[in-house]
Amino acid sequence: MFIKFEEAVKLLGVSKYVFRGWVRKGLVPVRRIGTSQYIFHRQKLLDWWKSVEHVPNIKKRNILEEITNA
């Protein structure tokens, strides 16, 4: 299942500006559509999120619990 940029930001609970920076730096698993649109494979994005070290542990843990329990 693919999700759009706005859905990815909401899912991870991060600023769209921070997330856009990660995308531009190539840190996030993404597919580019056209010249300015991105889509994200939901499960690959969540797997990436679980593996990153740049997110404060408390916030990251809370978000992961919400996703797991949803």
Of 59 and 46, more confident: 46
pTM to 2 decimal places:
0.71
Which pLDDT band, with edges at 50, 70 and 90, does 45 fall under? very high
Question: CB count, 10 Å around CB of 58?
Answer: 8
Instruction: State the Cα–Cα distance between residues 43 and 3, nearest whole angstrom.
Output: 10
- Look at residue 14 in the predicted model and tell me its pLDDT: 87
CATH number at residue 47: 1.10.10
Domain count within the chain? 1
Range of the domain at 45: 2-69
Chain-wide mean pLDDT for the chain? 81
- Per DSSP, the residues of 8-55 read HHHHHT--HHHHHHHHHTT-S--EEETTTEEEEEHHHHHHHHHH-SSS
Of 50 and 64, more confident: 50
